[in-house]
Amino acid sequence: MTNKVVVLGSLNVDTTLHIAQMPKPGETINAQSKTNSAGGKGANQAVAAARSHAQTSFIGQVGRDSAGDFMMKALKQDHINTDHVKVTTEQGTGSAVILLDEAGQNSIMVYGGANQAMTTAVAVDSEPLIGSADVLISEFETPQAVTLAAFKIAKQHGAMTILNPAPAAKLIDGLAEVTDLIVPNETESATLTGIPVTDTASMDQNASQFASMGIQNVIITVGDRGAYYHTATASGFVPAFKVKAKDTTAAGDTFIGAFSSKINPDLANVAAALVYAQQASSITVQRMGALPSIPTTEEIEKVYG
């Protein structure tokens, strides 16, 4: 059985500048090369879910421009349902500039554009789609008000809601109460809870703080170390697979999308789903680009059996 996954999120055309090392303030450096690819946290997560055989649909917005056409084509290539991707003439399609150094680390600057111009009407118009989903994922590259409206609809229909609070921002009122699972990295988690993530004890404290906010289930990703999880029935840590990273862009998104394809609604298989998600993201970081780097189930099985 494969999950029906709906992603409410961002669609960005990524421009990656390949550099030797990050520039210092005020410094001008030469880029070694430049590449363009489809991206955005929402698109990355949807493609990761689709390549892991989830029946995937997208809720989002692009501009009426060539970049928007490019993003729609990219989603359709992975057989993602785009019936609920709106086209606006008010804003251009979202974009991102990524600085990628030789160590594989990146800095990202995002222009929201059509993503940030989304309104709650997008969620309301998508109620039939959301109602048919097993899992609804959203991030913070689109307005939180739209996510809140969509999550409320999801809860009315019994769909599981997964929130990726990235880029980190304070949750608006009501959003925690309709979030089944929150998946921040250690920096985002600390921003939301005020508790630095340094060890297992501090992760437990973060989970307790999220519970007090109304979110009972937490996964905290800690880069190449792995992922911590805490649910109503279990907690633990799943280590990452050791690989040499070329490009960490989309690693976290691959993790969430792959995870969403495998997770049971009751979270009973959370540890196994996390292992699979770690396998997927370990392959992503060994490749260049966002969407092009995301592996299929077949590629994951070929590497990890």
List pLDDT tens digits, range 244-268: 988 888 899 999 999 999 999 999 9
On whether residue 2 sits in a domain, the answer given is no
On whether residue 1 sits in a domain, the answer given is no
Residue 205's CATH number: 3.40.1190.20
What is the mean pLDDT of the segment spanning 34-45?
Answer: 92
pLDDT of residue 88: 96
On whether residue 3 sits in a domain, the answer given is no
Domain count, the chain: 1
pLDDT of residue 62: 98
DSSP letters for the chain:
---EEEEE---EEEEEEE-SSPPPTT-----SEEEEEEE-HHHHHHHHHHHTT-EEEEEEEEESSHHHHHHHHHHHHTT-EEEEEEEESSSPPEEEEEEE-TTS-EEEEEE-GGGTT--HHHHHHTHHHHHT-SEEEEESSS-HHHHHHHHHHHHHHT-EEEEE--S--PPPTTTGGG-SEE--BHHHHHHHHS----SHHHHHHHHHHHHHHT--EEEEE-GGGEEEEE-SS-EEEEEPP----S--TTHHHHHHHHHHHH--TT-TTHHHHHHHHHHHHHHHTTSSSSGGGPPPHHHHHHHH-
On whether residue 212 sits in a domain, the answer given is yes
On whether residue 199 sits in a domain, the answer given is yes
User: 187-210: per-residue pLDDT in tens?
Assistant: 999 999 999 999 999 999 999 999
Place of tokens 């937490």: 218
> Which residues make up each annotated binding site for K(+)?
247, 249, 284, 287, 289, 293
On whether residue 27 sits in a domain, the answer given is no
Q: Which residues are catalytic?
A: 253
1 has pLDDT over 70 = no
Please say whether the dihedral angle defined by the alpha carbons of residues 131, 133, 135 and 141, taken in this order, is positive or negative. Answer: negative
> Which residues make up each annotated binding site?
12-14, 40-44, 141, 185, 221-226, 247, 249, 252-253, 284, 287, 289, 293
> Which residues make up each annotated binding site for ATP?
185, 221-226, 252-253
On whether residue 161 sits in a domain, the answer given is yes
Of 101-115, 162-176, 259-273, the least confident: 101-115
What is the mean pLDDT of the segment spanning 55-72?
Answer: 97
Q: Which two tokens stand for residue 149?
A: 């409206």
Domain containing 211 equals: 9-22+32-304
On whether residue 213 sits in a domain, the answer given is yes
